[in-house]
Chain A
Amino acid sequence: MAPALEEFQARIDREERIEPQDWMPEGYRRTLVRQISQHAHSEVIGMQPEGGWISQAPSLERKVILLAKVQDEGGHGLYLYGAAETLGVSRDEMIDAMHTGKAKYSSIFNYPALTWGDVGAIGWLVDSAAIVNQVPLQRCSYGPYARAMMRICKEESFHQRQGYDIMLALARGSAAQREMAQDALNRWWWPTLMMFGPPDADSIHSSQSFAWKIKRYGNDELRQKFIDQAVPQAEVLGLKIPDDDLQWDAATGHYRIGAIDWDEFQQVVSGNGPCSRQRLAHHRQVQEDGAWVREAVAAHAAKHQAGGDGLKADAHNPASAQEGGADAAV
């Protein structure tokens, strides 16, 4: 091993954080750009299925909570794009890579949000799964990513609660509302399990990521942790997990599930999910529709160099946006 590489690995082994100005192997940088940008895209694309329900929310209280929640997702996207930018890649390049299919986003957002029950199920299941995935990332060896994850995890637990709270209200509601909740669980359960990625034996990115402490737990272990949390929560709701093979295994202290349809996962990951084309087309359309605005911002800034950063002073303030969101959601 080259001396620089040896020293780099030694730092990681000592649990030191790697910072943007530090030397790092190209593979480490590439892996992080791939993972962080995929994560950022997931936050932003993930605004679509829930965002479509803000205008239709069934009460004003639910409307403002959902809007604040979806706004948070955008904020997460901003932190994460920021973290990835420290690795020398621009937001435009990352978005381009998504549009051309080189960069992915979480497969879960390629499923449609058909009812208000889906808004509950996404918050409950998808955000729970995200938390299980993200908590260990707070200790990721790359400093900016780890710090972004600390902020994100705090907000995700509020998101998960709002989702579960929607499910609870539906489960305690009319027969039609209970049906809405069960139907949503039926459709979101298996795709949520797939969010953790393929079984460890088939995971192509894992071993080096473990050595670099980008990843600390295997896909199967995280998936199991999620299942063990979610099954009792479904029981409290009085809803049935759509898996006839689901059973408690007293010997291991874990729930055992039936077979996951990995062919479906492969289809969705390769861009053939029910909403894959729709999600990307929407994102592209928004980028195109906004191009004249971004050009005007740049032109205005160029004309008024001295005071031309009004946009940043004004709009580029995710911290205050987050506060507003949290206020409204209380």
Chain B
Amino acid sequence: MSLLPAVVALGDDALVLGQRLSEWCGKAPLLEEEMAMANTALDFLGRARLYYGYANTLGGRDEDGYAFHRDAREYTNLLLFELPGADFAAATARQFLVDAFDELHSAELANSADATLADIGGKAHKEATYHRRHSAAWMVRLGDGTDESRRRMQQALEDVWGYRQELFVNAPAEQPLVEQDILPDRAGLRAAWQEAVAATLTQATLTMPAAGWAVKGGRQGIHTEHLGVMLAELQHLSRSHPGAKW
């Protein structure tokens, strides 16, 4: 009964980060990294389409209905995924925290009691393993690069840190599915995540920020102010031509 909103939420996570990554097209610090970011964006957008496609078979809308015809309050992605990440340090720090989580989450999702989610999890796991290797390498390179790059990475890490907490909360719609082994238990992933992140930060000569703060609300549709602006850009053309085929 609660499967549909849980699947849509996973789709929303993937879509908003795919959109954020695609915003880097033409703006990356190296042409090589431009290609890599586009690849990662394509993986996340592809994942969004898989989740929305599954939601559609569960009685939900079609993929464009989810992407283009809901307002920010109806989106249920976690806040970490929607943050602008507008400079390379911020984008890298966010990506690394997401990738480290995704690698663990998708490995468990691949064993879901739900066959479709298991398939998506299997595919996502292959991607996430590569993504994490890539973003961890950037954390190390920038953390252990110049004084300036270390300062920027440490600051970016501090700025994003409070958004990690949501990753480890099972939303009310998700809790029964966790109990049925359909979704991974997010709370149970925290220790392994913390350990993986700590290992990379050590290698990167970066300091793990203090545990202190947490911002939450994504699964309840309480977002940052950034999401509405992002959706305005994402949706304006589709919404300006109701019913049009593209």
- List the interface of chain A (C-beta within 8 A of B): 44, 47-48, 51-52, 54-64, 67-68, 70-71, 74-75, 77-78, 81, 116, 166, 169-170, 172-174, 176-177, 282, 286, 289-297, 299-300, 303-304, 310-311, 314-318, 320-321, 324-325, 327-328
| Contact indicator B26/A68 (Cβ below 8 Å) | no
- Complex: how many Å from CA A20 to CA B24? 34
Least Cβ–Cβ distance between B25 and chain A, in angstroms: 4
| Contact indicator A292/B152 (Cβ below 8 Å) | yes
27 cross-chain CB contacts under 8 A = A54-B22, A56-B233, A56-B237, A58-B238, A58-B244, A59-B246, A62-B246, A63-B45, A64-B45, A67-B45, A71-B39, A172-B245, A173-B245, A173-B246, A174-B244, A286-B26, A292-B152, A295-B145, A295-B148, A311-B137, A315-B30, A315-B33, A315-B35, A321-B38, A324-B42, A324-B43, A328-B46
Write the B42-67 contact mask toward A (1 if CB under 8 angstroms, else 0).
11011011001000000000011001
| Contact indicator B87/A289 (Cβ below 8 Å) | yes
| Contact indicator B36/A290 (Cβ below 8 Å) | no
Please name all residues of chain A whose beta carbon is closer than 8 Å to the beta carbon of B67 when the two chains form the complex.
Answer: 60
- Complex: how many Å from CA A17 to CA B46? 42
- The answer to whether the Cβ of B214 comes within 8 Å of any Cβ in the partner chain is no
Least Cβ–Cβ distance between A113 and chain B, in angstroms: 12
- Complex: how many Å from CA A174 to CA B245? 8
Least Cβ–Cβ distance between A158 and chain B, in angstroms: 15
Please name all residues of chain A whose beta carbon is closer than 8 Å to the beta carbon of B23 when the two chains form the complex.
Answer: 54-55
Please name all residues of chain A whose beta carbon is closer than 8 Å to the beta carbon of B148 when the two chains form the complex.
Answer: 292, 295-296
- Complex: how many Å from CA A169 to CA B149? 47
Please name all residues of chain B whose beta carbon is closer than 8 Å to the beta carbon of A174 when the two chains form the complex.
Answer: 241, 243-244
| Contact indicator B145/A67 (Cβ below 8 Å) | no
Least Cβ–Cβ distance between B170 and chain A, in angstroms: 27
- List the interface of chain B (C-beta within 8 A of A): 15, 19, 22-23, 25-36, 38-39, 41-43, 45-46, 48-49, 52, 63-64, 67-68, 87-88, 133-134, 137, 140-142, 144-146, 148-149, 152, 233-234, 236-238, 241, 243-246
Q: Which residue of B lies closest to A312 (CB)?
A: B32
| Contact indicator B145/A299 (Cβ below 8 Å) | yes
Question: Known: A174-B244, A282-B26. Contact between A310 and B35, CB under 8 A?
Answer: no
| Contact indicator A292/B28 (Cβ below 8 Å) | no
Would you call the interface of chain A mostly helix, strand, loop, or mixed?
helix
- Complex: how many Å from CA A328 to CA B39? 9
Given contacts A52-B26, A300-B140, 17 further A-B pairs with CB under 8 A are: A55-B19, A55-B234, A60-B15, A60-B63, A67-B22, A74-B38, A77-B31, A170-B246, A173-B244, A173-B246, A177-B241, A292-B148, A293-B29, A296-B145, A299-B149, A324-B43, A325-B38
Please name all residues of chain B whose beta carbon is closer than 8 Å to the beta carbon of A321 when the two chains form the complex.
Answer: 35-36, 38-39
| Contact indicator B149/A293 (Cβ below 8 Å) | yes
| Contact indicator B237/A116 (Cβ below 8 Å) | yes
| Contact indicator A78/B31 (Cβ below 8 Å) | yes
Q: Which residue of B lies closest to A81 (CB)?
A: B31
Question: Known: A55-B23, A59-B64, A321-B35. Contact between A296 and B237, CB under 8 A?
Answer: no
Question: Known: A295-B146, A324-B39. Contact between A71 and B25, CB under 8 A?
Answer: yes
Please name all residues of chain A whose beta carbon is closer than 8 Å to the beta carbon of B38 when the two chains form the complex.
Answer: 67-68, 70-71, 74, 321, 324-325
| Contact indicator A71/B35 (Cβ below 8 Å) | yes
- Complex: how many Å from CA A307 to CA B154? 23
Least Cβ–Cβ distance between B35 and chain A, in angstroms: 4
Question: Known: A296-B149, A324-B39. Contact between A311 and B244, CB under 8 A?
Answer: no
| Contact indicator B146/A54 (Cβ below 8 Å) | no
Q: Which residue of A lies closest to B148 (CB)?
A: A292
Question: Known: A60-B64, A116-B237. Contact between A328 and B32, CB under 8 A?
Answer: no
Q: Which residue of A lies closest to B66 (CB)?
A: A60
Least Cβ–Cβ distance between B124 and chain A, in angstroms: 14
Please name all residues of chain A whose beta carbon is closer than 8 Å to the beta carbon of B236 when the two chains form the complex.
Answer: 56
Q: Which residue of B lies closest to A43 (CB)?
A: B31
